[in-house]
Structure 1
Amino acid sequence: MPLSSEQKSIVHVVDDDASMREALPDLFLSIGLETRTYSAAQDFLAAAIPDCPGCLIVDIRLPDMNGLDFQAQLSKLGVQLPVVMMTGYGDIPMSVRAMKHGAVDFLPKPFKDQDMLDAVLAAIERDRQRRAVDGDISKIRERFGTLTAREQQVMLLVTEGKMNKQVAGDLGISEITAKIHRGAAMRKMGARTLADLVRMADMIGPRQRP
C-alpha cells in the first residue's frame, strides 16, 4: 500500500551495480517510497541527507569500502538510519558480522522483490519508532530544563527511591520544602504519578543531570 505524503520516507541505495540502482527505485515507488541512489559509500557520506524517516540499502562489497567500514563511518558521523545489507555468494559471514554491528537485516542476491520490500518497510518502521522516542526524550529534557536547580535535585533524589524526609536531610532543607519542590517538579514535568517521574528521569540520562 502506498504511503501518504505525510509519511514521506526515503530509501538510500548504495551499490556500484548500475542495474540495482535502476531497478530498486521502481520497486520502491510501487509502494510510494522515494529513492536516492549512490554508486559508492563516499558518495552517500558526502551527500546532504534529509531529516526524515528512511533506511539504507547497502551492498556489502562497495568499490571504496566494505560494509563493516561503511557502518563504522556512519556511526562516527552520527547517522542512525537502519541498514539493510545486500550480499553476494560467499559474503554471509561478513553479513552476520555487519548485523552484530547494527545492520537490521541482510538479503542474499538475487532476492525476491517482496523480501526486499518487507525488509525496507521493517527498517523504516524501526527508524520511525527511534525518531518518536528521540522526540519524547527531547521534550522531557526541555521540561527538565525549566526546573530550578533545587527542583532538579529533589526530582532526581525522589526518583532514586528516597522519601521526602531523606531528600530533606540530603539537601539540608525542611521536609515541607522538599514536598513543595517535589510537587513543583511533578507539575512542570507533566508527571501524574511518581512512576511517571521515574520514567522521565530514566529518559533524561545521567549527562543531563546536575
Structure 2
Amino acid sequence: MDDEETVRNSELFIFKLAGIPAAAYSSAEEFLAKDDLTVPGCIILDLRMLEMSGLQLQRCLQEKGSDLPIIFLTGHGTVDAAVMALKNGAVDFLQKPAKPEKLLEVVKVHLQQNKELRLSKALIQEKINKFERLTDREKEVLREVATGKLNK
C-alpha cells in the first residue's frame, strides 16, 4: 500500500511476474474497505500515507486481530520509525527503492509463513471441534488416556 501510483504499479508488476497474486491500494482507508483479511498474505506498507499513516494502520490491524505479516517499505524511514514498527509486530522494514529480488524474497518468506500459520490454526480448530462433539464420558476417558492410562 503506497500513496504513489508509480510505486504501487511497479510492485504489482513485480509480483505478477513472480506469479504472486497482489492488490494495491492508495490509502489505508481504501485497504480497510476493500481487502479481505481472511485471505492468507502479507501487507506492504509505507510509513507516510494520506490521512492514516502506516503505523496507524498497523495498530488498527492489530486491534482487528489480523495475523497478516506487515512489511514496511518506505523512503521516509528513520531508526525510530523502524524500531517502533518492528516492536509493534512488523516482520521487516525496507528502504525505498528496494531491489525487486529483495522485496520478492521477503514477501515469499512471509507469505509462506502466513499460509502455514493459518493451516496450523485450522488444524487446531478442527481438533477442538472434534473434541467438543464428544460426550462428557468420552472427554473424561480421553483426558485419562492422554495422561498415559489405559482406556479400559
Length-normalised TM-score, structure 2: 0.87
Summarize deviations over 1:40-67 as a string: whole Å, max 9, x none. 1111111141743211111022222222
Where in structure 2 are the equivalents of 1:73-84 lying within 5 Å? Answer: 73-84=60-71
| 1:120 equivalent in structure 2 | 107
1:179 pairs with 2:151:
yes
- Aligned partner of 1:93 among 77, 80, 86: 80
| 1:40 equivalent in structure 2 | 27
Q: In structure 2, what is the Cα distance between the partners aligned to 1:36 and 1:47?
A: 10
User: Is the Cα–Cα contact under 8 Å of residues 57 and 83 in structure 1 kept in the other structure?
Assistant: yes
Q: Shift in Å at residue 141 of structure 1? A: 0.9
User: Is the Cα–Cα contact under 8 Å of residues 41 and 68 in structure 2 kept in the other structure?
Assistant: yes
User: Is the Cα–Cα contact under 8 Å of residues 77 and 95 in structure 2 kept in the other structure?
Assistant: no
| 1:185 equivalent in structure 2 | none
Summarize deviations over 1:147-180 as a string: whole Å, max 9, x none. 1123324434664x5x75xxxxxxxxxxxxx834
CA RMSD in angstroms comes to: 2.1
Gaps of 5+ in 2: none
| 1:143 equivalent in structure 2 | 130
| 1:15 equivalent in structure 2 | 2
Instruction: Specify the code of the residue in structure 2 equivalent to 1:128.
Output: K
Instruction: Specify the code of the residue in structure 2 equivalent to 1:24.
Output: E
Higher strand fraction (1 or 2): 1
Identity %: 34
**More RCO (CA 8 Å, sep 6+):** 2
- Aligned partner of 1:155 among 135, 142, 148: 142
Length-normalised TM-score, structure 1: 0.65
How many residues end up aligned between the 2 structures?
152
